[in-house]
Structure 1
């Protein structure tokens, strides 16, 4: 019997999806891909496969989960299985350089960025950047890894030579133009099945100025997967009837890059220009913001996977509570 297969490395994030799959009485199986084996001489099972592999897996002790996941995805794709967020999506997830080059290729604006390998080269990149203010971040990131704001080359040198310097897991540090927004928020657009679901504004007024990226960098209380304390809940607000030409550009980008599920983040500068700076193919949702809006990302995703499973001949459940 065909079923839904969820490929991941983090139980705490995945349980929000499996709860929705249970509510819809859908047959599914969860593959935790921190370790395992793949017999390339065998065929994979029939079904719908959805990857939630994260670029930050190494921060949870799952250093090689993305590499093993790519092995599994290549095996699935080789045998023609229905895969969502496959190898192309994974390569974008684990490399912001891949993201930016792909975005540039279709004319979507990103902040000016220089990639550097080596401490000396990081400083050289900042000097070449020629910006009064700039940020650093890791190429393979998530959770705001390596994100720092600098207003001078001297302060960067102190960081690079100090004990607080974070070595990127892939050895690549990005030096990026700092975009100053007149409003204290960034916008994250959520897509399921390659189609726009909603946009959420993330308040960046309290300690979030270091980078308009990855709300999780401030700790779990600011993570989109967790509402946090009562006073923090308003940090995530879904925008009613959000409309912008960038949505059509994002949908085409997702289609061209074989990405079914993603959260894409952008910031506007003082001239209203949109800079896209992050694509999250392992997207999470804020429960409190969704409850106020009445739309639920994980439910949308579960329904999408159900529809795709039905195309393989799955017989829907007769009743649902």
Structure 2
């Protein structure tokens, strides 16, 4: 009658989900897509397929996992299988340009950004922005790849033509407006089933100068799956009673782009304007922050996948 299939390329990030699936006694199977084959002449198995492919797969020597995942998702969608975070979600996961265009379509503000290919073009992009401070970042990123803050064209030139230049895996470097926040934190909004679950405040005071980038992941300093926080002032804090009108826009954005599970990161400048700078369709949760708040993202996700599986089974029964 089917099971839950988890499409991924990172066992460590997937363990947190499989523990919850086992806790709820839900049948599942892991599809690690770094390598594999698809027989396009065969029908996929019945069940629910949850895509957790990450934009940072290349940092784990899984360079073509997203491309292979796209092929698998195309096969699943062609046969009408229930896919959570399907091909559209994957397309946004691996391209910040695609994210920003989709966000802007719903009038969600993103930082001013110029995309460029080529070192000379990166310099030209910064000139086009004409801002006193700006950052570079990779279009297809993860772990804060390529995030650098600059206060002058001279510093950018030295970086771009120096030995420390970080070449993007897809060749596209983004030159982006630097958002100066009054306090060193960003807010990550978590969604399961396309609905808001909770928001978490991420302290960025010990990392890179606060910017509209993957600040909570730079050099894995703030990775949600890190060891437990044992000191006061935890970097991750679930915000009790949090609400912002942007949540409704985010839910609309997720529905419009067929995304069911995501973490959306935003930052406010000193004037109170919110900038949305990252959509993570492969979301992780911080255990310690959740324990304090008594809310658990992976448990809610496992329940959601279980409900989707029950719906699939009901359809099969009725069809039979």
Shorter chain as denominator, the TM-score bin is over 0.9
Q: How does 1:211-226 map to 2 (within 5 A)?
A: 211-215=211-215, 217-226=217-226
Distance 2:139 2:181 in 1: 23
| Alignment match, 1:263 | 263
User: Aligned pair in 2 of structure 1 residues 221, 124: CA closer, same or farther (>3 Å)?
Assistant: closer
Distance 1:59 1:105 in 2: 31
Distance 2:83 2:2 in 1: 13
User: Aligned pair in 2 of structure 1 residues 213, 292: CA closer, same or farther (>3 Å)?
Assistant: farther
Higher mean C-alpha deviation, range 196-205 or range 210-219: 210-219
> How far has the Cα of 1:309 moved from its partner?
0.5
Distance 1:172 1:232 in 2: 39
Give 3-state SS (helix, strand or coil) of 1:313's partner. helix
Give 3-state SS (helix, strand or coil) of 2:42's partner. coil
Give 3-state SS (helix, strand or coil) of 1:230's partner. coil
| Alignment match, 2:188 | 188
Distance 2:238 2:88 in 1: 29
> How far has the Cα of 1:142 moved from its partner?
1.2
Distance 1:217 1:23 in 2: 29
Please give the per-residue CA displacement for 1:217-256, whole angstroms capped at 9, x wherever unaligned.
Answer: 4434421122455238711101001111000000000000
Q: How does 1:187-206 map to 2 (within 5 A)?
A: 187-206=187-206
Distance 1:313 1:81 in 2: 12
> How far has the Cα of 1:206 moved from its partner?
1.3
| Alignment match, 2:85 | 85
| Alignment match, 1:241 | 241
Does the 8 Å contact 2:57/2:63 carry over to 1?
A: yes
> How far has the Cα of 1:313 moved from its partner?
2.3
Distance 1:10 1:271 in 2: 39
Cα RMSD (Å): 1.3
| Alignment match, 1:56 | 56
| Alignment match, 1:231 | 231
User: Aligned pair in 2 of structure 1 residues 23, 31: CA closer, same or farther (>3 Å)?
Assistant: same
Distance 1:60 1:313 in 2: 36
User: Aligned pair in 2 of structure 1 residues 272, 280: CA closer, same or farther (>3 Å)?
Assistant: same
Task: Say yes or no: does 1:65 pair with 2:65.
Answer: yes
Distance 2:236 2:34 in 1: 31
> How far has the Cα of 1:143 moved from its partner?
1.0
Higher mean C-alpha deviation, range 220-229 or range 144-153: 220-229
Q: State the TM-score, normalized to the length of structure 1.
A: 0.95
> How far has the Cα of 1:207 moved from its partner?
2.3
Task: Say yes or no: does 1:111 pair with 2:106.
Answer: no
User: Aligned pair in 2 of structure 1 residues 226, 232: CA closer, same or farther (>3 Å)?
Assistant: farther
Does the 8 Å contact 2:49/2:84 carry over to 1?
A: yes
Please give the per-residue CA displacement for 1:112-131, whole angstroms capped at 9, x wherever unaligned.
Answer: 00000000000000011000
> How far has the Cα of 1:20 moved from its partner?
0.3
| Count of matched residue pairs | 314
| Alignment match, 1:285 | 285
Give 3-state SS (helix, strand or coil) of 2:300's partner. helix
Does the 8 Å contact 1:149/1:210 carry over to 2?
A: no
Q: Which runs of 5+ in 2 are unaligned?
A: 315-320
| Alignment match, 1:159 | 159
User: Aligned pair in 2 of structure 1 residues 221, 180: CA closer, same or farther (>3 Å)?
Assistant: closer
| Alignment match, 2:95 | 95
Give 3-state SS (helix, strand or coil) of 2:275's partner. strand
Give 3-state SS (helix, strand or coil) of 2:182's partner. coil
Does the 8 Å contact 2:54/2:282 carry over to 1?
A: yes
Q: Which runs of 5+ in 1 are unaligned?
A: 315-321
Distance 2:160 2:118 in 1: 10
| Alignment match, 2:140 | 140
> How far has the Cα of 1:210 moved from its partner?
5.1
